[in-house]
A and B are shown apart, each in its own frame.
Chain A
Amino acid sequence: MATPVPVLRLPKGPDPNSRGFDPNSPRFIALCRTSISSSAASDSDSEQLQKEQDARSVLREGFLRCLLSMTNKKVQFQMYENVKVEATFGASDIDVLNFQVSDLHTPIGVQKEALIRCQDVISFTFDV
């Protein structure tokens, strides 16, 4: 009587809450391109490439300084589905995937501590 080949576990099925493509997987981290790809992908105008890189640096530095100055301030987030919420900004994670906030005012109450998923945010404003 042949015995069936043992297995360590069954294959993992889909996550009912997300479409997958885990941004924390090694493959994603290694391969995912930045959201705005370089214009000079094929041709090689090195001067133009340098200018573009300088502009990227300026924008990136500006963005990081913005995040720093937002700490502990009240920020209004404009999100999809016409959602506007206000919260006190705490910090961002390294890949800017989540914002840690406190006292998040939502239509169903105030959440003491929360994580806001960055891909859901359209824009945010605050007073410097």
Chain B
Amino acid sequence: MAMRQTPLTCSGHTRPVVDLAFSGITPYGYFLISACKDGKPMLRQGDTGDWIGTFLGHKGAVWGATLNTDATKAATAAADFTAKVWDAVSGDEVLSLAHKHIVKTVSFTQDSNCLLTGGNDKLLRIYDLSSPEAAPQEISGHTSAIKKALWCNNDQQILSAADDKTIRLWDRSSMEEVKTLTFDTSVSSMEYVADGQILVITYGKTIAFYNALSLELIKTVEAPAPINSASLHPEKDFFVAGGDDFKLYKFDYSTKEELESYKGHFGPVHCVRFSPDGELYASGSEDGTLRLWQTAVGKTYGLWKCVLPEDLGSENPEQLYTSTPEIKA
């Protein structure tokens, strides 16, 4: 019997969720951080969506959030002109890095020693977290607000996307621009897949895949609606995308075929990310919720429980129930 996708809704935020990020896989599982316009980013257990804690301290909308690989540190970028580094185990604020304008994006190096920030002041900044009072290194070049910045190529290079419709590749040691991609329209999101060096970029209704080293185009796929974010599965067989029509789309990466689409959110989808094990993907929306979606619908994983046909309708000692239709808290 065919099974229908049951998204798990994570509530708690009171305003749009604009960014989310997963950690790597740790001995305690993997974790998810969500950035929200309510100024209170939250940490959740990645496979169940259970809330763990809220990082309190920002005085404005949080536009970007990230975790380091072992989920011991978190970083957030906010409209209060600061980027903050947090202890992701205790929830305590560790550092507050003052900027001259709204900060939009933050990214840790793999060893968690450096933090990259970018925002409306058009500068990329690199902070050495072992000497945070030292002035950060600054990279200029973009002619308008930076919306996303990432480390790539083993943290030797930096990729940045800005409202000036360009994506630029920078060399970390020389701080010079290596390559630039120019688009006709603003890029809505950028994701870097380290294994295979693939860059996933979205603009308009297009999801584009580039080689992260050469910035050569691999392929583009057109979606039925304007897309705000896309994510490639770790095994590179699928990718998911979400945007202004409130739906989540799942595509086959090799054939570019649209496989599935899911309704569920009550507002535009702002961000979507695959978990590090590829078993689920999380979406953040204007409706203030995060939803978790199964990659393999019907599989037993996290809170989803596979039910064999003969179990349906029989006495089941475990409490099983199908997810309730949308109930507003």
Q: Which chain A residues have a beta carbon within 8 Å of chain B's beta carbons? A: 2-15, 19-23, 25-28, 31-32, 42
- Max chain B CB contacts within 10 Å: which of A5, A12, A27? A5
The interface stretch among B8-16, B136-144, B149-157, B217-225 is B8-16
Number of interface residues of B (CB under 8 A): 46
26 residue pairs A–B, Cβ–Cβ below 8 Å: A3-B3, A4-B3, A6-B307, A6-B322, A7-B6, A7-B8, A7-B304, A7-B321, A8-B318, A10-B8, A10-B303, A12-B50, A13-B329, A14-B42, A14-B54, A19-B54, A19-B55, A19-B56, A20-B43, A20-B52, A21-B52, A21-B53, A21-B90, A21-B91, A27-B89, A42-B130
Residue B51 interfacial (CB < 8 Å): yes
| CB-based contact A11/B89 at 8 Å | no
A11 near B10 with CB under 8 A, answer yes
Q: Which of B12, B56, B91 contacts A13 (CB 8 A)?
A: B12
Besides A7-B322, A21-B89, 15 new A-B residue pairs in contact (Cβ under 8 A), listed by A number: A4-B3, A4-B322, A5-B6, A5-B294, A5-B304, A5-B322, A7-B6, A9-B303, A11-B8, A13-B329, A19-B53, A19-B55, A21-B90, A22-B52, A28-B89
Question: Contact flags (1/0) for B58-91 with A, using CB distance below 8 Å?
Answer: 0000000000000010000000000000000111
Question: Number of A-B pairs whose CB atoms are under 8 Å?
Answer: 109
- Inside 8 A of B52's CB, which chain A residues have their CB? 20-22, 25
Question: Per-position contact with A for B93-119: 1 when CB-CB < 8 Å, else 0?
Answer: 000000000000000000000000000
- Contact across chains for B89 and A6 when beta carbons are under 8 A apart: no
A102 to B5, CA, bound (A): 54
List chain B positions with a Cβ less than 8 A from chain A: 1-6, 8-12, 28, 42-44, 48-56, 72, 89-91, 130, 292, 294, 297-298, 303-307, 312, 318-323, 329
A5 and B320 CA atoms in complex are apart in Å by 10
